[in-house]
Structure 1
Amino acid sequence: MQANNTTPGDAVPLLPELDSATGRVPAVPPAQWSATTDGLLGQVATSIKVPGLLTGEHSIDSIPDLWARPLLFELALLDSRHPLHKQVQGEWRGLLALLALREVRGLDFKAEALELPASAANLGRAPAFVQAATRLLPRRQLSEDTPWTNLYIFTYRGRAVGITSPTTLVCTAADCRGRFDSRVSWATEAGLQDPVPFLTATEKAALAHWLVILVTNLNAHPAISGREAGDLLNRLGGQLSKFAESLNSPPVNHEFSNRFLGLNTGFYTYLDKPLRAREVSLEESAARLVTTPGLKAPIGLLIVDPTIAEYWRVKPSEVPLFGRETLASIDFAALQEVRRGDKDKLRQLGQEVLRNAEWRTAAMLFSERLLLISSNQPFRGVREVEGQRNLTYEQRPVIPILPIASELLDYLSAPELEKRLSFFPEKNNAITVELRLPLAGPDGQARDFPVRHTYDANSIDRRSNFPVLEIWPHFRSEHWHLYYTYYDAALRRPQDIFVARPRIAGVPLDLEANCRSFQRGESDRREVTRLEAPPTAFVCSAYLPERREELEVGCLLLQELEFKESNGSIWSLGVDFGTSATHVYVQAAPGDEPSPLPWSDQLLQITPIGDSERDRLTNFFLPPFLPERPFPTLFRPDSGASQNWPFWQGNIRYVKPALAMLNDLKRNGIASGFKWSEDQALIGGFLIQLAAQSAAYAVERGASAIRWSISYPSAFSSFSEASLRNIWEEITERLNVPVADLRYQTESEAAARYFQHGERVSLVRTVCIDIGGGTSDISIWNNSVLLQQSSIKFAGESIFLDLLRHYPATLGAFGSEWTQQLSNVNKDRSFYAEAVSLFRASQREDLFKKLPILLASSRPGEPLYQFIHLLALGLSGLVFYAGLLLRRLRQEEKWTSDELPYLCVGGNGARIFNWLSLGRAFNKNTKQTELFTSVLRTAAEIGGQGRLDLRISSQPKAEVAYGLLKSERPLKKEEEAIIELAGEDSIDGSGTIVGWSSNLKPEVLAAGLSVPEDFTHLRSFVAAYNAYAATKESLASPVNFNEVAQSIRDIVQDELNEYKEQDPHSIVVKPLFITALKALLKVEAERWLGGGR
């Protein structure tokens, strides 16, 4: 029966039209029946004219057959006239491309075997579905060893996307919607399509090679004989050839991979070998972050972002990442779920495990929050990036914490980051931050790739307060390798400020080992961090109340510190570490006159500070002012430091000039008078900071090496002297500044050098006394040879300050506030330092102006008058002891002159002489010189009538530090130059008399001594003193020695008893005469000032 091809009028044909071009149905007259063969129905089926599919339709799904999909796929693929041919051909090519390029693209593409029963026996035991599928199996196949019973199901990311076919090699699933991700660039939401337009030139050439090999293998494979099978194979080969031709690329030999899917049946084995992906090293990765020259990154860093290829105008597969992975092979959705702290996942890139490298997405390079600081004052020393200077938020000027991951500091220098960062204001108070990253690029040429992050109002945190941030010192030099940063919350709540810790680009920092943190409350937090190079940035974090945690919020990039060139000079530094005050002198070149080290804070203040912040800086780090010279020996200790580094054990507590510190030392736990302490942490902490600041000043001004000169009192115990040397050796090692020399000199020697060179006093026959706060250092010289020196613990504190401590009303004549202020601190351990600060703040000159007037109106029994008497008694007793040293030398015939020596007095205690001269400068013409002449003659047994030539230093306290730098030529010394002269007889345990001229040793004191029946020399001294007291205008009162002698003996014996069984190495020897003299002062003070308490 034949359908009519034309329809008259509006009639609709009952049967479908036949295709005149392909129709093979024989013509039969209408209304006649005729016999035919059984092939007629097949001819009818192939001759029907089938219309195209409606728009939007992709398949025919109404065929009632389990195997309809592969059968339809075969028909559509091998028949170019089929309505689904183009679609199926594209899907077929897409699936073959997946097989060939699965390794190149790093695709999660797998195959699972599907075996159907091949025998009737096995079929009977199979499930009903399997039995039905087997009975309905198609019959056509290309090879005997590739049957329908042995198939493979293809999956992508675990979901079925296709199957093998004995007639078309592969067949896609009927519905692949949503089963592919962006890594399969030739897939749409609906499924696969022709891959040709989406492949790179390299991929096309490699795929062409794979297809040629596939065709060759198929042609050589044993096929089923017969016309039908041969026709199928020819048409299949034709499709493969057309696919290869459409690539428009000559085949290029390419290696095959051994990463098989397991396709081991028939000609499926030719599909099992994918093209080998080019293995890219980390250095060859196009996404590698290029490190700034000079930085040593801890690991390689790959920036993985889906938009890189688009920005560079290349295909994703042309951006090699690492190993066999490219940008096209990455599952970006999975990457977004990885957290920054998950190191294992950050080393897993697709199928590759990164070696000594990690990957980052663009989002990981930005902080979660943008922190803005409201301030009208800029931060100093901080780099400004594009768009920062005029940045506002809610119409207020703000300083942004750059919201970038701190790890970028290991890859990009601060100047590099400065030019690569930009801020862009957006609508609704949003702010966009752009970072232009230098990546290696796909062609070996570095290319920038910009990443952006927009912060809306919900992710911006504005704060109006900020911490104290400081850097010390503020310069760079080839010879300086010690830096500190100081962070102080300044009593502000954590949610109001931010925390900042230093970082050095490309240098790992062990915060546990290099940062000391102090926290005494939620708002009282300080951190001191030690570095070996200037910091390049501060890494900032902020406490977020809603998260209840501290979160990193970005960085402050720092400007480079000024570089100071070395001029090759060797600077000499003389350090006089005193009990009450410390001084440092400097000599920049040989022959230069030594001068006080001009202190400089060398601080770089990052954040603006107010008065309260200045006070905290002074208390806990370095003051933002220049301290006076010399400065008080004060130290605020911190416990817990395991090593002695500057600022580690605490900090020197500098004092503003003319500032009294009453009660301040006790309130802030500040230590004073620790020079004689056994607490090595206090001494070491003080000295190493002092040395660091001194050395930094020298290096900043060009010094390439330092010659250190250190003083110490000869009264130091052997333990104290050894400890001091150990501390200084450690200091020079820690500072890491070249050391030209490290030498030590007694304070008495150094002081004499000052008078020789600074005051032009000849050392032909001279006695020098340096009166400090805790010790007086005496040296005796003859023809520039040091004959004898001694250091005794009898100085300013014993002579002057102890009187005020026990009798604070003594200075009441100057005003009741003196009594009140001294009474407030007289029980403090830090009394000496606080009292000295009171005199410093009150200006001694003002006191001395009032002194003559007040004394003129005082009677001899009143406190101020007796205060002068007691000062005269103490000072003259000290000079008498120096005379005893001289007598010993005369007895040994080492001093042969019968003339009085020059007497030179220096040190802070030298100022006490001005009280005796009623505020005027004391000199040899002052009335009280008669007293010192008398006691010296008596002690030394030098007759005559001439007056003593007494020289008071014009620079009290400068003598030792100055003299240390005037020691170019070695001194000539007697063998037993250092001596602790007993000064009085005593009796040892065996009853033997230990003579007054003995050099008193610690071992003798530890064995035990007893006082004599009478202190002969002390009695002789009192007699000379009383003779002077009887003179007119002496301002001295006579001492009734017989009345106080027993009290003195008892006091001295008690002190001698304390030495018994002590370790001799820790004993500080105190001459018996000096101990008795102190006892005399004590009982005299009780007698005259006791009523004025």
Structure 2
Amino acid sequence: MAAGAEISEPAADALWEDKQRRVITDIGNGIEIDESAQTRGVSSIPDIYARPLTFQGALSSEKHPLRDRIVQEWKGLLSLLALHSVKPDLGKLQISPVQFNDEKFCRALVNLAPKPIELQSNGTTYAWTDILIIKFGDIAIGAMSPATLVYTSADYNRKLKDLRGFSLKDSEGYLRPPLKYEGLEYVGKWLEDFLDKFNRIAQTNDTPSQGHIYIGDINRLLADWLKEIKQELGLAQDKIIQSNKVKVAEEMPEAIRRNPPAFLSRYEIYQHILTPLVEGDVDSERTKSDYSLSMSRNKSGYLENKSGYKEVVVITPSLLSQNKTLWDGLTPRELGDDTHSLVSKFFNEESGAFINNINLKNHDSIWIRPELYFLTDSLLKNKTDDDILNTSESFLNGNETEFILPFRKEILYFFTPDDIQEKLKPRFVKTDEKVIFSFFLPLIDGQRVEIKKTFRTAKSGLQKGEGEIVEVEVPVLEIFPDYLGDFWCQYFMLCSNIDTFKIAPLNFAEHITVSQKEQKIETNQDRERAEIIRISGYNSFPEAVSINSANRGNQAYGLVLLSRNPDVEGKQFTGKSIVGVDLGTSNTNIYRYSNENTKRWVFSFSKYVRSILNSDPQSQGGNSVKKEKSKREKITRAFFVPTEDQHLPIPTLLRIFKAGITKDILLDQFIYFPSEPEYPNYVFTDIKWHEDTTNMIAFIRSTIFLVIVDLLQNRTGKIEFRCTYPKSYSDDKVRAMKRAWTEALENFVHVAEDGDKEIPEGKFIWVEKRRFDEYQGFYNITTKDNGKIVINTRPSFTTEGIAAGEYFSSDQINNDGTSPANKEDGALCLDVGGGTTDYSIWFDSKIRLDASVKLAGKQIANLLKNNSRVRALLFTNESAAALNEVKDDSLLFFSRLNFVLRKEEKLIASNLSSNAGSVEIAWLRRILAIEFGALSFYAAHLCLAVDEFLDSGLSKRAKENIFKLHWGGNAAKFINWIDYGRYEQDGIASQFLDGIFANTIYEKSIGSRAFLPLKIGQIQSPGHKDEASGGIVVMEKVSGPDEQSSGSARSLILIDDDVETKGRLEGLVLGERINVSGRKFEHYEVIGKNDFFNETRSLFENTELVQLERFISLINRVGRSTGLFPEGAQINLSLEEKLSIKQRVKNELAKQAQKGPDERDVEPVIILEVKYLLDILSHKMK
């Protein structure tokens, strides 16, 4: 209306009289026609009386030409009011009251209104001016009316017709009630309730003035409609419509209740019309869609730490054609009749949150196209004729090894690997040109829908919707260890070809942490890169491995589903093992004692390393076998662990990818297992003796890790470690070594508070606090499914010499009846290792002396390093060349030599024999005779000292028995070389060593101290390098980590009795006549190592070289008798050389004086002299 329009008001409501024409003229003149009005058209809604009256006329008159359409619209509008709260696509309904102000136009409209209608039996009348507009979005589609309850606007259909997704309309856009499959039963339930309430509230008497005509018409229309609905539903008229999915709300929607018009509180019928259906009181698990996925689990919220999707609606053309409930009463036909066009129109992505205008996010749900959402666009296969998957992995992977399952990781959000195999039943069907992959998806209504996808090679011509078969070079993919149980909380993966593939472990348990490090190796010959991945957390073994492209935008290639090792799943821990570890300079050995048996350890990597992909082809075909096998061996050894079993002893080598960083096992550092003499430059060799103990600690941690993995894999329940160390270790070194073992074991276990699944770094076993108990270092761990594990975190320790004595005297090891050491009447044991030789002397079945010297394999290796001609004669060309490469690097040379000696032991023995006449071999045999002669020479001095300590007890027994020297340790095998590679009891080496020992212990110049055993025997070990590790596991008593010598029983319970040391000779047996601070000491005397020093000053004056000259004399004389040192090969030292040796001894002791008392490493003087002698002779004799 134009501003200021003058309109006369009628004298009484609805009374026009003779002013009718003038009033209408005034209204007409007051209408403002402008450009905007022309654009938006003329709406009939402002004609607030004409439209409801004409609507009522058409609705009540059966002869009215528009009645059918008006009845349809009336039913449609009531249906909309009933359904808008339970059908999300109808959720935009709004109810808006019309407010009349006090302007003349409004007063005129109020005065023109028809008289109110008395609809309620309590006399409440419904005014025509109390108007509630019904809108859908911004479309005004109707209003409330006293005569018909509701009516539609005149032209709403033009806008509604083009409104996408609104289902309650006909082809022209007019409202209509729902069809049977569109929620008709819901409307019927609402109508039953409303009709009942309407009849109880409405005015039904026959007084003409009371509006009974309107009531009758409405009642009749409602009753007829309800009858039609029951007929459509196939329900008897006397039956109540049952639908548990919905119910009539108890009150109007909150949007109306929040700000209702004042008149609404009086109008009970309007209130009931505005009270819609809501979800019924049924199981909260009820789905809104008949196409919802029947999930075995729900991990879809894993990445965002949410509960996941409540429903996943599966969309396929075949499912849509069933026309079941798509979402909350909405059916596919409400969106359109052509199911294929529905897919392209409404579901053209792999997943989505909207169905038409229904936002599934509001219900934490999505829809998916399974062939896009669950399947990849690529099918991987080996580019050779070999399979891509190892046969051991076929069970959970469709019983197929030629292809990788083309699943995306999303499939695991809803199904476990076992469910995928058993319920989804993945299957490959192969033809010449294509592969059809299929699987079944279970739906909530019990049906199973088959999903298929065709894959072809690109050259065969891909069609729309098909995937590509991609042929690839198979990467190395290993998992270590294989599944151990839910309590084990660290697993590792190795992945090669990282420029092509991005491989990731999948585990959806809580608090799983994945860490990865890319490492690379660069040499003159090779350049390799690999990724090492650690999966940490309680129950962290991967369910699957996802394989993606590293260079195609992280495109998904597929999954390998992983089963859990049935050999350990649920199997109980039983039995116990004592583990003896001898960490040597060159080699490390481990023994075990269990079930009354002792045996050398084998790391069964073939059992607990799991190869996923067939990078080492299992089929014999083509040239791929050799090529791929070498690749896999190279990658696993270089970056990870070997996949073949490793028999101990093993070289003491540590792989450190980045120097100085040893924090994380396998990611940063691990034991290196060589397969060839050339080691990468990141392999460290000086583990045992380096002043910085970092690498030693790392090696110990890795050793513990491997041993415990092995024992737990075999379900050993009780574990005790025992460790050896050389007597020559400084006190500080001993403490550092003991501390490293104890801390590594204590840190192996994480004790968690109840419900805490967080795993700190470096922990490998998880246990709840309520399932854990600790007593004197024994960790008692009760697992959930496998029983109890007991780990003694306080290892027992002893010296290598003592352990070797136990080894040689053990009937379990030396079972031939003649060779065991006679610990009762006297025996001497030598463990000749890479860095030290450890002595132990036994008498009355007790250890009487325990000593260590640094004259061992290192000196022999140094001699070989300086003589290339000998290396050429003994070793293969390949090995000799490998040694020549590092002849200027002592540590690398010694390490490579150690590997060559183990690998070519039999060949070396043959070459020694075949080159017996060679000058170089003769030189080598003499050098070996000098070193082992020196060890025998010093052994005699030790026996003399012990005999005096025992008041001649040792000599008395020795004169009546055979006194045996038991030679063990890896370097003791060099004695065999003196006999051309094969040791014999009466051979040259044995005779030579007998002669040196006898002539030293029976030296007449020492008078009554001298003695000669009844017989002397030189016994070689039945298993070189087994002595220390094998001996400690059979010991009856071993010291704990805080004890100085023996003191714990073989069982797992430590005994805290005081250790008896009174019966043992302590101190340094000199082996040479020396002068210290004005006093002369004889060669058989014993001195404390710190007696050489006064604080930081050396008190040592000189050595007289008496025993060295005696030793050289014995070498010459005994050597001549055995043929080792014939005329012309005798040893002679010049005065200059003697003075050099004397000065070097003095300098060494002065150097030791500068160290702290616990750091000093004081050697017997005769041993220093012999080492300096060997330096001189190695240059003179080569």
TM-score by length of 2: 0.72
Report the more deviating stretch, 961-970 or 66-75. Answer: 66-75
* SS across alignment from 1:463: strand
Instruction: Determine the structure 2 residue equivalent to 1:576.
Output: 582
Instruction: Determine the structure 2 residue equivalent to 1:653.
Output: 672
Instruction: Determine the structure 1 residue equivalent to 2:380.
Output: 372
Contact 1:649–1:682 (Cα < 8 Å) also in 2: no
Q: 1:703 aligns with which of 713, 716, 719?
A: 716
* SS across alignment from 2:151: strand
Alpha-carbon separation, structure 2, partners of 1:191 and 1:426: 54
Structure 1 residues 570 and 424, CA, compared in 2 at 3 Å: closer, same or farther? closer
* SS across alignment from 1:803: helix
The correspondence of residues 803-842 of structure 1 with structure 2, limited to 5 A, is: 803-811=863-871, 821-828=882-889, 829-841=891-903
Paired letter, 1:614 = E
Report the more deviating stretch, 1076-1085 or 379-388. Answer: 379-388
* SS across alignment from 2:839: strand
Contact 1:111–1:152 (Cα < 8 Å) also in 2: no
Paired letter, 1:259 = P
Could you tell me which runs of 5 or more consecutive residues in structure 1 were left unpaired when the two chains were aligned.
Answer: 1-60, 125-130, 391-396
Structure 1 residues 385 and 1083, CA, compared in 2 at 3 Å: closer, same or farther? closer
Alpha-carbon separation, structure 1, partners of 2:375 and 2:1095: 68
Q: 1:594 aligns with which of 591, 594, 599?
A: 599
State the Cα distance separating 1:710 from its structure 2 match: 2.4
State the Cα distance separating 1:969 from its structure 2 match: 5.6
Q: 1:871 aligns with which of 896, 916, 928?
A: 928
Structure 1 residues 524 and 336, CA, compared in 2 at 3 Å: closer, same or farther? farther
Paired letter, 2:1088 = N
Whether 1:501 and 2:508 are equivalent positions in the alignment is no
Paired letter, 2:633 = R
Per-residue Cα deviation, 1:195-247 (whole angstroms, up to 9, x for no partner): 36346586256303442266248626999x97696534432343233334434
Contact 1:208–1:250 (Cα < 8 Å) also in 2: no
Instruction: Determine the structure 2 residue equivalent to 1:29.
Output: none
Instruction: Determine the structure 1 residue equivalent to 2:178.
Output: 195
Contact 1:89–1:194 (Cα < 8 Å) also in 2: no
Alpha-carbon separation, structure 2, partners of 1:527 and 1:378: 21
Instruction: Determine the structure 1 residue equivalent to 2:496.
Output: 489
Structure 1 residues 973 and 824, CA, compared in 2 at 3 Å: closer, same or farther? farther
Instruction: Determine the structure 1 residue equivalent to 2:1027.
Output: 959
Alpha-carbon separation, structure 2, partners of 1:112 and 1:832: 92
Alpha-carbon separation, structure 2, partners of 1:256 and 1:675: 82
State the Cα distance separating 1:770 from its structure 2 match: 0.4
Instruction: Determine the structure 2 residue equivalent to 1:113.
Output: 96
Contact 1:981–1:1071 (Cα < 8 Å) also in 2: yes
Whether 1:1025 and 2:1118 are equivalent positions in the alignment is no
Could you tell me which runs of 5 or more consecutive residues in structure 2 were left unpaired when the two chains were aligned.
Answer: 1-41, 119-123, 231-238, 336-341, 456-463, 617-627, 750-762, 766-780, 782-788, 1039-1045, 1047-1058
* SS across alignment from 2:58: helix
Q: 1:907 aligns with which of 961, 969, 986?
A: 969
Report the more deviating stretch, 431-440 or 1045-1054. Answer: 431-440
Alpha-carbon separation, structure 2, partners of 1:427 and 1:891: 90
Q: 1:883 aligns with which of 894, 915, 940?
A: 940
Alpha-carbon separation, structure 2, partners of 1:65 and 1:562: 79
Alpha-carbon separation, structure 1, partners of 2:200 and 2:697: 85
Q: Percent identity?
A: 18
Instruction: Determine the structure 1 residue equivalent to 2:310.
Output: 302
State the Cα distance separating 1:261 from its structure 2 match: 3.9
Contact 2:439–2:451 (Cα < 8 Å) also in 1: yes
Instruction: Determine the structure 2 residue equivalent to 1:765.
Output: 826
State the Cα distance separating 1:751 from its structure 2 match: 1.0
Instruction: Determine the structure 2 residue equivalent to 1:751.
Output: 804
The correspondence of residues 443-522 of structure 1 with structure 2, limited to 5 A, is: 456=464, 459-460=467-468, 462-474=470-482, 481=488, 484-490=491-497, 493-494=499-500, 498-504=501-507, 506=509, 509-512=512-515, 515-518=516-519
Per-residue Cα deviation, 1:644-681 (whole angstroms, up to 9, x for no partner): 6653443333234xxx51xx21x342222312235555
* SS across alignment from 2:581: strand
Paired letter, 1:877 = A
Instruction: Determine the structure 2 residue equivalent to 1:728.
Output: 741
State the Cα distance separating 1:772 from its structure 2 match: 0.8
Structure 1 residues 606 and 243, CA, compared in 2 at 3 Å: closer, same or farther? same
State the Cα distance separating 1:99 from its structure 2 match: 1.5
State the Cα distance separating 1:606 from its structure 2 match: 1.7
Contact 2:730–2:1161 (Cα < 8 Å) also in 1: yes
Contact 1:1026–1:1039 (Cα < 8 Å) also in 2: no
Alpha-carbon separation, structure 1, partners of 2:1021 and 2:312: 75
Q: 1:633 aligns with which of 647, 652, 655?
A: 652
Alpha-carbon separation, structure 1, partners of 2:572 and 2:866: 53
State the Cα distance separating 1:536 from its structure 2 match: 5.3
Per-residue Cα deviation, 1:883-913 (whole angstroms, up to 9, x for no partner): 3333332333355333474211111111121
Whether 1:892 and 2:943 are equivalent positions in the alignment is no
Q: 2:790 aligns with which of 739, 743, 750?
A: 739
Instruction: Determine the structure 1 residue equivalent to 2:9.
Output: none
* SS across alignment from 1:113: strand
Equivalent residue pairs, number: 982
Per-residue Cα deviation, 1:258-296 (whole angstroms, up to 9, x for no partner): 533426354444433323323666544466766648999
Alpha-carbon separation, structure 1, partners of 2:451 and 2:147: 49
The correspondence of residues 281-430 of structure 1 with structure 2, limited to 5 A, is: 283-285=285-287, 292=296, 299-305=307-313, 350=359, 359=366, 361-363=368-370, 365-367=373-375, 369-374=377-382, 376-380=386-390, 399-406=403-410, 408-409=412-413, 411-423=415-427
Alpha-carbon separation, structure 2, partners of 1:772 and 1:685: 21
TM-score by length of 1: 0.77
Alpha-carbon separation, structure 2, partners of 1:294 and 1:942: 85
The correspondence of residues 153-168 of structure 1 with structure 2, limited to 5 A, is: 153-156=133-136, 159-168=139-148
Whether 1:240 and 2:222 are equivalent positions in the alignment is yes
Report the more deviating stretch, 176-185 or 1042-1051. Answer: 176-185
Instruction: Determine the structure 2 residue equivalent to 1:393.
Output: none
Instruction: Determine the structure 2 residue equivalent to 1:524.
Output: 529
Contact 2:548–2:558 (Cα < 8 Å) also in 1: no
Instruction: Determine the structure 1 residue equivalent to 2:33.
Output: none
Structure 1 residues 426 and 824, CA, compared in 2 at 3 Å: closer, same or farther? closer
Instruction: Determine the structure 2 residue equivalent to 1:99.
Output: 81
Whether 1:1014 and 2:1103 are equivalent positions in the alignment is yes
Structure 1 residues 1002 and 387, CA, compared in 2 at 3 Å: closer, same or farther? same
Structure 1 residues 982 and 75, CA, compared in 2 at 3 Å: closer, same or farther? farther
Whether 1:1051 and 2:1144 are equivalent positions in the alignment is yes
Contact 1:980–1:1001 (Cα < 8 Å) also in 2: no
* SS across alignment from 2:494: strand
Whether 1:934 and 2:999 are equivalent positions in the alignment is yes
Structure 1 residues 980 and 517, CA, compared in 2 at 3 Å: closer, same or farther? farther
Report the more deviating stretch, 902-911 or 644-653. Answer: 644-653
Instruction: Determine the structure 2 residue equivalent to 1:41.
Output: none
Paired letter, 1:420 = L
State the Cα distance separating 1:351 from its structure 2 match: 8.4
* SS across alignment from 1:762: coil
Instruction: Determine the structure 2 residue equivalent to 1:28.
Output: none
Q: 2:69 aligns with which of 68, 73, 87?
A: 87
State the Cα distance separating 1:793 from its structure 2 match: 2.7
Alpha-carbon separation, structure 1, partners of 2:896 and 2:394: 46
State the Cα distance separating 1:857 from its structure 2 match: 5.2
Paired letter, 1:250 = I
Alpha-carbon separation, structure 1, partners of 2:1015 and 2:638: 50
Q: 1:682 aligns with which of 695, 698, 723?
A: 695
Structure 1 residues 723 and 538, CA, compared in 2 at 3 Å: closer, same or farther? farther
Contact 1:906–1:956 (Cα < 8 Å) also in 2: yes
Alpha-carbon separation, structure 2, partners of 1:189 and 1:1063: 103
Contact 2:82–2:187 (Cα < 8 Å) also in 1: no
Instruction: Determine the structure 1 residue equivalent to 2:854.
Output: 793
* SS across alignment from 1:910: helix
Instruction: Determine the structure 1 residue equivalent to 2:845.
Output: 784
Alpha-carbon separation, structure 2, partners of 1:368 and 1:163: 53
Structure 1 residues 493 and 523, CA, compared in 2 at 3 Å: closer, same or farther? farther
* RMSD of aligned Cα (Å): 4.9
Per-residue Cα deviation, 1:60-102 (whole angstroms, up to 9, x for no partner): x999996676555433333333333233322222221221232
Per-residue Cα deviation, 1:917-956 (whole angstroms, up to 9, x for no partner): 3333143553313234334545995244866322122321
* SS across alignment from 2:848: strand
Contact 1:472–1:484 (Cα < 8 Å) also in 2: yes
Alpha-carbon separation, structure 2, partners of 1:417 and 1:408: 12
Report the more deviating stretch, 286-295 or 557-566. Answer: 286-295
Whether 1:718 and 2:731 are equivalent positions in the alignment is yes
Structure 1 residues 689 and 272, CA, compared in 2 at 3 Å: closer, same or farther? same
